[in-house]
Structure 1
Amino acid sequence: MSKAVLLLAHGTPDVLGEMAEYLGKVTGGRTLPDAVVEELKHRYAQIGLGETPGTEPPPLTKWTIKQGQLLEQALSGTPVYVAMRNWHPYIADVVAKMRADGVTHIRAICLAPQNSRTSVGLYRRALMTAASEIAVEFISGWADHPLLAQAFAEKLWPVWAEACAQAGYRVPVLFTAHSVPCRTIMTGEASIAGARPGTSVQNTPDPYPVEAKRTAAMVAERLAVVGFKEKNWYFAFQSQGVSGGPWIGPTVEETLKSLKDEGHRGVVMQPVGFLCDHVEILYDIDIAFREIADEIGLKLWRAESLNDSPLLTRALADLASNTDAISLDDSAVMRIA
């Protein structure tokens, strides 16, 4: 074996008792107040995490492993490994296994398609630190991949059609991506976070907000064939941190209220910054945002997550194989039209 693909994801605790340790990984060792830890334990408990391991891994772990398995099947011979930045299986441990397996060349794909130097950049730093003597190709962003947009559009179309039929008019769609602290998209700190240790980089604004909205725009473009127009969609950043400090917006909460004030009776949400179910979808959208929508008299629908989407697998296979041409077959278009 010489070449292999490595999928990188955020990671999530397996049981509630690991929450404080897990959050310490997320914050780089900064201790969070007990109230914050307890609030996050509550949220994870609401989506099924318990005090003892369940019969299957948490959703993020489960779906990321499944995505790796599907990609390996699609690549027919190229091994695919999965590693997490903030929990087991850690990047360093997986890279050590890859080295023991004889891997000499890694093509790494971060399962956060929109590039942020303080999130995706941290994946790169962890991988580069661990992968000494292994050649690494790191894909830092693929927000505008046409198959990614098509995969999201395929999930959005049926729920939007149902919502419009139930409401009797064209219900707006609210695309979302995870918010980040304001400081991380500014010059300086954001630019340095994604660099190799000891490497100086140019201080330029982080591309994340622009890339997140570009993905949303590409999804909307693919539904133009069924009458979806630019005026039918909005964008917000979700899941701002609970530990304080300014985070980028607009927030979902204020956007839902604005939609209600404009006279809308419903909204379809589709998070385009996430590739599978996890707490930011199963709790933040399905529980917290739905409660807010109910309180203000707004019906909320959500498009299914990509999870094991065949189109997502095709997008990942294209990234893994580094092909130049990307095509959408007629069947992919017809599933939407």
Structure 2
Amino acid sequence: MNTNSAVLLLAHGTPNVLGEMAEYLSRVTGGRALPHDVVEELQHRYAQIGLGETPGAEPPPLTKWTLAQGRLLEGLLDGTPVYVAMRNWHPFIADVVAKMRADGITHIKAICLAPQNSRTSIGLYRQALLSATADMEVDFVPAWADHPLLVQAFAEKLWPVWALACAQSGRRVPILFTAHSVPCRTVMTGEASIEGARPGTLAQSTPDPYAVEARRTAALVAERLSVVGLTERDWHFAFQSQGMSGGPWLGPTVEDTLNALKDEGHVGVVMQPIGFLCDHVEILYDIDIAFREIAGELGLQLWRAESLNDSPVLAQALAQIASANTSATSANQDEAATPNAV
């Protein structure tokens, strides 16, 4: 990279206090208002993982770990600065881009901290970034779901907890990989844009790659553990955290899968969310509280692999991606996206 280049890590964003929930959710949904009971339920979930009415001693987990990942990456890049921006909360993408411009940055290597490509994530990050960088050169990394070091990082977290679960239960324990669900309409009949056309010019509808890429990451992690005896019969895949706003969402669900594992005679399950790179509400509440409770009611013990968080192997993966040559994306290119639902 030249002296006017920088890396920009893009993440989803999360509120800092419970009172910001309604505004935060309106950004997630693209301005669509949500029922009051949905806002209250999500406030409850965030409160369960430590979010309060006033700012805590440290940022919420997603912000904390994303900033830490940025610092680790910067330490590997030999002087190239690393910035962090969020799509749905502070620090917003547009604000961080303005700071980069003021710092003299003219070229951005943008990496989404969501390895699997989806219109409800990557497409929206790209759209927000390009709208803020009309006068800058942008290299946008669309996906890195099968990066060898990403796979290694997940495998290193999974192996010890799987070994522990099998030892404690005295039998082989199935592994359940998960990724965040998305509305079915964005996967089956999503609209793809024409590269280079003005925003809103649509090409023929094409399937979204997200479901395939999520399963691909899981399969590669499982393959990495074949050397310690993991077989295809030992792992399953499900989509978690389906939204509360109606309409069909991508499955199978974790709940249905846990029931199926119980019916097969299993006594426990090891979960690893391979669609997330750090702790946040979909892990700390959905898995550690809600799914653990469901598993307990079924008579299943639930173990979870630690999140990547400040994994040095993840940092190395990001460093390789940041240093790789990619073609620049002009600021007048855009990609159609469907606003996230909750």
Contact 2:181 2:241 in 1 (8 A): yes
Alignment match, 2:299? 297
Please give the residue correspondences for 1:1-337 in structure 2 after superposition, counting only pairs within 5 Å. Answer: 1-189=3-191, 191-192=192-193, 197-322=199-324
Instruction: Evaluate the alpha carbon distance shift between residue 97 and residue 199 of structure 1 in structure 2; reply closer, same or farther with a 3 A threshold.
Output: farther
- Confirm or deny: 8 A CA contact 1:121 1:193 kept in the other structure: no
Aligned structure 1 segments of 4 or more residues deviating by more than 3 angstroms = 192-196, 198-202
Q: Is this contact kept in 1: 2:194–2:203, CA < 8 A?
A: no
Separation (CA, whole Å) in 2 of partners of 1:35 and 1:257: 28
- 2:76 aligns to what SS in structure 1? helix
Give the CA deviation at 1:187. Answer: 2.4
Cα distance, 1:288 vs structure 2: 0.1
Structure 2 length as normaliser, TM-score?
Answer: 0.92
Quote how far apart the aligned CAs of 1:203 are: 2.0
In structure 1, what is the Cα distance between the partners aligned to 2:198 and 2:291?
Answer: 38
CA pair 11-193 structure 1, distance change in 2 beyond 3 A: farther
The Cα RMSD (Å) is: 1.5
Q: Which amino acid aligns with 2:44?
A: H
Q: What is the DSSP-based 3-state SS (H/G/I as helix, E as strand, rest coil) of the residue aligned with 2:271?
A: strand
- 2-side partners of 1:206 and 1:192: how far apart? 12
Structure 2 stretches lacking a partner, 5+ long: 327-342
Mapped partners of 1:158, 1:92: distance in 2: 41
Letter in 2 for 1:161: A
Q: How far is the alpha carbon of 1:245 from its aligned partner? A: 1.4
In structure 2, the residue corresponding to 1:75 is in which secondary structure?
coil
TM-superposed deviation, 1:323: 6.4
Please give the per-residue CA displacement for 1:268-293, whole angstroms capped at 9, x wherever unaligned.
Answer: 00000000000000000000000000
Structure 1 letter corresponding to 2:308: L
Distance 1:121 1:211 in 2: 15
1:267 match: secondary structure: strand
Number of aligned residues: 323
Distance 1:80 1:151 in 2: 21
Contact persistence 1:182–1:247 (CA under 8 A): yes
Q: How far is 1:198 from its partner?
A: 3.9
Structure 1 residues without counterparts, runs of 5 or longer: 325-337
Amino acid at match of 1:43: R
Q: Report deviation, 1:119.
A: 1.5
Q: Secondary structure at the match of 1:250?
A: coil
Aligned-residue sequence identity (percent) comes to: 77
Q: What TM-score, normalized to structure 1? A: 0.94
Q: Please give the per-residue CA displacement for 1:234-253, whole angstroms capped at 9, x wherever unaligned.
A: 00000000122110100000
Letter in 2 for 1:56: E
The 8 Å contact of residues 176 and 272 in structure 1, kept in 2 or not, is answered as: yes
Question: In 1, distance between residues paired with 2:244 and 2:45?
Answer: 12
Q: Structure 1: which amino acid aligns with 2:310?
A: D
Quote the offset at 1:188 in angstroms: 4.0
